Structure 1
């Protein structure tokens, strides 16, 4: 009897150890996957920081005019918009891991292609390929994290993008310094992208069947998600309103970044050094703000963070618009920067709340695409208004965009709440 009891206890301990080992193994895989996601988002930011530093040397080597940069930007933006728009379709067809591997491969080949291109006209074509890779990586990672991880991780993920975009200019500047060629920087980053593509291939199993934090894996939700085609999402009112939010938000972010320095120096007589410092502070606040928001996301819902952050951003834009004093304007820019930093990741994290789980995969890709479009068009519209009226119209225009953003956000809440009441 005593021996039998010992055998039972031994068997229980053995099973406990096995179960503990399985849990530890799952935890290790989870942390490895998170690390890989962060590395991927850092790598996404690297190419964005290269072109600005490389352009003087690049255009000199091809004997190009200054504004030829715009052609490369059009190429990369076109590729980015296309791949992010169809992100949901590609994920359903080949899965997120394969999509990320192919996207990194495309980006890496395009960047290395820059270094080998003998003719200028090849650069815009390669830019399309690089843009397609970047758009798919951006939308693919955002979709995956929104579905499978918490909202704090989403904020930190976007903070890591800031690390990449900061490292890019450093890599390019040092490449030019030590090799006397802009090609070195692209070669380094392109090679890193190819290595990352290989890592995605080698870790395909990590991306399979993780526990979904939001859908709880019900068969009904899985069936609904599979049923929703791209055209159905494009006719879904909450999805269209959500897409518009991203168009407006990124327009606000980029308009402030592009025009604040000109407004301060040419219209308000602020010194170039001081204006440059505050514009740099504005961009720097995105990384800091998202790191802080990552902790807040454990206590507050992402949709609440987006709402109150936009309201605080509106206050900052009003301070800049009324122009009561130089320091109040500078304070307004600082408030706006720290306020809007968490909005983009918070909007991504709350996508399923706004549009429904069955539309989430499609909507995130289109949202990323709309963000790229808004970031290009709305700052351009601000420039047209400034040319025809005055530079002082820009902060007023941004204030109006904030009001429009908050109005649409509230309308989505009403539509969503009404739909929830009907479902109940």
Structure 2
């Protein structure tokens, strides 16, 4: 089987309102903003609540539970509520969680609010990924995730500004939480656009497609292997984004403001990479691009682990962000080729959930290892996760495209 056979089926790109596409991008900007806050804010947060470095795992766990729940239910929620209403509810939940972080006096209360924030994020992520994978090609999928990159790039910069100018991590979460509420209001005002799109979709003749339930999908070994790809990729991405600031400040003595810019450079090159990937996927096979980027991230992770100099570290962090950029949307777009078109919608939901599980479990594992062996374990752990990702990807490459 050739590489091209692993590429996604070309979705039928029916005419869609430009305003709808813009709102989808805005939703992913909102999705990314909270994720960029935690890595820079965590050293200050744990001092405020007087908790150890690996206590982060509790917050990640509750957020993951919320995310898993809404991800698995995203298809049913979209059918019942419509995509517009689901986005409104998701932004409100995220806003409640983030603003709640700023007012609770106890750590366990912040951990509990992670459930609401996670549910909001999962609702946005899974439903929009499935929508774009079904109706658009890999180029728009890359740009969708570039929008996420815009949001997550702003997170470290917002938190760095809050800590540098006001010495208050809560201000960063308050600002981003307010953005979520404003976006929920915006989606409510534009709700007729979403409803009009739902009606247009219902009136359009759908392609004949055998209905496959989630139980049937989960019986396929390819689906579980595909979930593992997301488990290791998201675990690598989130581990890097969460721990690089602590590695540089607490582990290597870098000035906190400069380290904040290091963290920002990771997400900045991440975003630029997705914008460029959206332009080149028409000329370069997306599956080949994904494999090359995994290898590049492994090499840059090795260089970061060597700690050659401050500026070499900065370059390595930036390269890792750039290499990570096309991987997640490329894996999403390639889902029909890996598991078959009939199973792709169900698989996208469970893949997203598996990614959330990897982001929580592997990032928490890195925290435990950092507490035991020191923060220098961060780049080594990330490289190990990426090697597992590469191995799984090569297995799919050799198996070829799935039937159906």
For Structure 1 versus Structure 2, the TM-score category normalised by the shorter chain is 0.7 to 0.9
Describe the superposition over 1:245-284 as per-residue Cα deviations: whole angstroms up to 9, x where unpaired: 1110111112223333444556666666655543332222
Question: C-alpha separation between the residues in 2 aligned to 1:114 and 1:250?
Answer: 24
Question: C-alpha separation between the residues in 1 aligned to 2:243 and 2:103?
Answer: 35
After TM superposition, the score normalised by the length of structure 2 is: 0.77
- Aligned pairs for 1:9-408 within 5 A: 29-48=16-35, 65=50, 73-91=60-78, 95-107=82-94, 125-167=112-154, 170=158, 173=162, 185=175, 188-199=178-189, 201-203=191-193, 204-208=195-199, 210=201, 217-219=206-208, 222=209, 224=210, 226=211, 228-264=212-248, 275-322=259-306, 328-389=312-373, 391-408=375-392
Any unmatched runs of 5+ in structure 2? 1-13
Question: C-alpha separation between the residues in 1 aligned to 2:382 and 2:177?
Answer: 39
Alpha-carbon contact 1:88-1:230 (below 8 Å) kept: no
Cα-Cα RMSD = 4.0
Describe the superposition over 1:217-260 as per-residue Cα deviations: whole angstroms up to 9, x where unpaired: 531xx2x2x2x211222221111111111110111112223333
Question: C-alpha separation between the residues in 2 aligned to 1:48 and 1:253?
Answer: 11
Deviation at 1:200, TM superposition (A): 5.6
Alpha-carbon contact 1:115-1:186 (below 8 Å) kept: no
Question: C-alpha separation between the residues in 2 aligned to 1:102 and 1:408?
Answer: 36
Alpha-carbon contact 1:250-1:374 (below 8 Å) kept: yes
- The alignment covers a number of residue pairs equal to 381
Higher Rg of the two aligned structures:
1
Q: Which has the higher contact order (CA 8 A, sep 6+)?
A: 2
Any unmatched runs of 5+ in structure 1? 1-25
Alpha-carbon contact 2:57-2:364 (below 8 Å) kept: no
After TM superposition, the score normalised by the length of structure 1 is: 0.74
Question: C-alpha separation between the residues in 2 aligned to 1:267 and 1:122?
Answer: 29
Deviation at 1:394, TM superposition (A): 3.6
